[in-house]
A and B are shown apart, each in its own frame.
Chain A
């Protein structure tokens, strides 16, 4: 492979996931994940808003999910590009607090502030951007971002908006399974047919690709943008809440903190069940204890309907790809939920071959995004992705029926031209309604946009000749141009998603985020140190009750007290270096204590 990285800036690849997000880049040694300051490669897609309006993202926010659930949000990807009407079902299952006045644009209430889903995603993206900037020591402002293959136009547009708000030029949106195939294809098979099964936190995709000397041609894709590990968590959570209600005689479901603690406990048990035959859901809360063992047999039975929901799209996808199951050479597993044994065995049964699980299913999408970034920079020139649009695009015709213009699984970029005329004498505008979906009737599909072709020369009905061109670009996003064939006049058409942000709204958010960026940066560092300080202070408080604390010589105890007091003194200052230094002193002062406590538990 010929690689020239000297001429290109740093274009990063970002996997903006429902549960976790990652940022990666590619150099001569191949694609690589960039870890955060805490050394973690995964940045939990959790955002917490501080009372001053600043944000905390990732692992620290995950902690705040428990202590400050009303200011903290997770799985916001489920709301991207969607309207209030679309998310009714989600609201029953997730603790999203929809702000008043969300009828036109959905907003979440976090503390006393309101944010759109793209703004919240932008905070996650900004964190990843900073991680990359800290890593390289230079500004990073260009990215490839992955989206579920089955995302529709509005969801894609919302993701692009999030990038812009975060100060990133989104050079390309890449479908997650396709990105995974790029990472996979780097060191594996050069030719053949590959299926990518991608079951993440909130979305499911299946794509079938033909690999041919560096060309990655997607033959078909299918999926469900609201199916993933989250659904398993919710299922287990419901059971656990019922248990708790009957055992404790207490309805925990209205207690945000209790629910979040229990949710974390079921996730832990779920994750363990991928490696051991039985796991315990454990919760200690307000002095009460709940324990329940779940064995793999029961777990499989519980989640079977969820796993089954992925198999239908797989069968459809195989059919659409026009291949037989026996022609599929390999199946690649992507997404954290593919660690679940039942998922693996079900996929193996359907595809009649053992799926590949060598690559880390959490990382492979981000790594592929980094490869695509290198393709766009020109550093990699022997690979090319030919992706498809997951949903058909059509327009409304007489009687609310859809006339399909671009069929699903068409390779993108794809275009279609349609001629329109007037129905009434002297008519000067033509209304066009664009929809996305597979159903015959408009009302069963998703309304993408309505636009008005204005300024048509008045003439008798049926004589106007308006040529409208629909173009789906390589990001899977639609644009429309219109031309009056009689006058040659171009009509400007603004396609605005039926649920989405206008350009002005996005510009305003970008502006606000720039103005706040400097201030944010300083505040964030202070906030991060305070979160650290909280953690260590809490640990010391707990340790004081431990035998090991009383066994310490007096001077050691005094040293601990002194360091703690000093940390408390600087806690509210806005100098993050100072707080960090004092945290370190507490750390030093408690080394002996920690060692003794550890020994105590071992004997």
Chain B
């Protein structure tokens, strides 16, 4: 089957206009949705089911910038792979070390670590916001250059984001449950 970009009939870009994407999705839904094939023979109905589920999967993936970038990376043969705990981004090493200690204390019932964790939570939110901005720039760079080096950078940013998000959810869980 064709890839999500082909299915939606749009170029393989990382920056997409949400409105244009929605417009395209609605147009295709009108053509492909199973509702339109109810009175047709079984084979056509089955095809409509396959096509419209693929269309929905495509739209769900491409309308989200992060999922879109991950998807394009896989299409281009990048292995985004599983994030392992030892792959700590170097610039975060010190912070993660401190954070893990604070998490331990908190779980051990020591509430004095709470302000530190809340501070870390805010810090991570800032980092994510900054990385979103960085991604926007990288997306534009890729769309004009089609450079694999840029894709490599994007993969690194995505991995770092994933790492930070895991930390954030860890902190949130600890703050809520203790």
* Interfacial residues, chain A to chain B (CB-CB below 8 A): 171-172, 212-213, 215, 217, 375-378, 381, 384-386, 410-416, 471-474
Interface size of B by CB at 8 A reads: 18
Given contacts A212-B26, A376-B38, A378-B39, are A386 and B53 in contact (CB under 8 A)? no
B29, A386: Cβ atoms under 8 Å?
A: yes
A384, B34: Cβ atoms under 8 Å?
A: no
Determine the chain B residues whose CB is within 8 A of the CB of A415 once the complex forms: 53-54, 57
B53, A376: Cβ atoms under 8 Å?
A: no
A375, B59: Cβ atoms under 8 Å?
A: no
Given contacts A384-B35, A386-B29, are A471 and B49 in contact (CB under 8 A)? yes
A and B contact pairs by CB, cutoff 8 A, 30 listed: A171-B38, A212-B26, A215-B30, A217-B26, A375-B35, A376-B38, A376-B39, A377-B38, A377-B39, A378-B38, A378-B39, A381-B36, A384-B35, A385-B35, A386-B33, A386-B56, A410-B60, A411-B56, A411-B60, A413-B49, A413-B52, A413-B56, A414-B53, A414-B56, A414-B57, A414-B60, A415-B54, A415-B57, A472-B53, A474-B52
Report the separation of the CA atoms of residues A138 and B101 in the bound assembly, to the nearest whole angstrom: 76
Determine the chain A residues whose CB is within 8 A of the CB of B49 once the complex forms: 413, 471, 473-474
B56, A384: Cβ atoms under 8 Å?
A: no
Determine the chain B residues whose CB is within 8 A of the CB of A213 once the complex forms: 26
Q: Report the minimal beta-carbon distance from A449 to chain B, rounded to whole angstroms.
A: 19
Q: Which residue of A lies closest to B23 (CB)?
A: A212
Determine the chain A residues whose CB is within 8 A of the CB of B56 once the complex forms: 386, 410-414
Q: Report the minimal beta-carbon distance from B106 to chain A, rounded to whole angstroms.
A: 21
Report the separation of the CA atoms of residues A164 and B56 in the bound assembly, to the nearest whole angstrom: 29
Instruction: Say which residue of A217, A416, A474 sits within 8 Å of B34 (CB atoms).
Output: A474
Q: Report the minimal beta-carbon distance from A385 to chain B, rounded to whole angstroms.
A: 7
* Interfacial residues, chain B to chain A (CB-CB below 8 A): 22, 26, 29-30, 33-36, 38-39, 49, 52-54, 56-57, 59-60
Q: Which residue of A lies closest to B39 (CB)?
A: A378
Q: Which residue of A lies closest to B56 (CB)?
A: A411
Q: Which residue of A lies closest to B38 (CB)?
A: A376
B35, A413: Cβ atoms under 8 Å?
A: no
Determine the chain B residues whose CB is within 8 A of the CB of A411 once the complex forms: 56, 59-60
Q: Which residue of B lies closest to A412 (CB)?
A: B56
The interface centre, meaning the residue of B30, B49, B53 with most chain A CB atoms within 10 A of its CB, is B53
A384, B53: Cβ atoms under 8 Å?
A: no
Q: Report the minimal beta-carbon distance from A114 to chain B, rounded to whole angstroms.
A: 36
Q: Report the minimal beta-carbon distance from A404 to chain B, rounded to whole angstroms.
A: 13
Q: Report the minimal beta-carbon distance from A169 to chain B, rounded to whole angstroms.
A: 11
Q: Report the minimal beta-carbon distance from B51 to chain A, rounded to whole angstroms.
A: 9
Report the separation of the CA atoms of residues A411 and B33 in the bound assembly, to the nearest whole angstrom: 11
The interface centre, meaning the residue of B35, B36, B57 with most chain A CB atoms within 10 A of its CB, is B35
Given contacts A384-B29, A384-B30, A386-B33, are A413 and B53 in contact (CB under 8 A)? yes
Q: Report the minimal beta-carbon distance from B26 to chain A, rounded to whole angstroms.
A: 5
Q: Report the minimal beta-carbon distance from B83 to chain A, rounded to whole angstroms.
A: 16
Determine the chain B residues whose CB is within 8 A of the CB of A381 once the complex forms: 36
Report the separation of the CA atoms of residues A416 and B60 in the bound assembly, to the nearest whole angstrom: 12
Report the separation of the CA atoms of residues A171 and B38 in the bound assembly, to the nearest whole angstrom: 8
Report the separation of the CA atoms of residues A472 and B22 in the bound assembly, to the nearest whole angstrom: 22
Q: Which residue of B lies closest to A416 (CB)?
A: B57
Determine the chain B residues whose CB is within 8 A of the CB of A215 once the complex forms: 26, 29-30
With A212-B22, A376-B38 given, can you name 6 additional A-B contacts, CB distance below 8 Å? A172-B38, A215-B26, A217-B26, A386-B33, A411-B56, A471-B49
Determine the chain B residues whose CB is within 8 A of the CB of A377 once the complex forms: 38-39
Report the separation of the CA atoms of residues A474 and B55 in the bound assembly, to the nearest whole angstrom: 13
Q: Report the minimal beta-carbon distance from A3 to chain B, rounded to whole angstroms.
A: 15
Nearest first, the 10 closest Cβ-Cβ pairs linking A and B are A413-B53, A376-B38, A411-B56, A415-B53, A474-B34, A215-B26, A413-B52, A414-B56, A375-B35, A413-B49
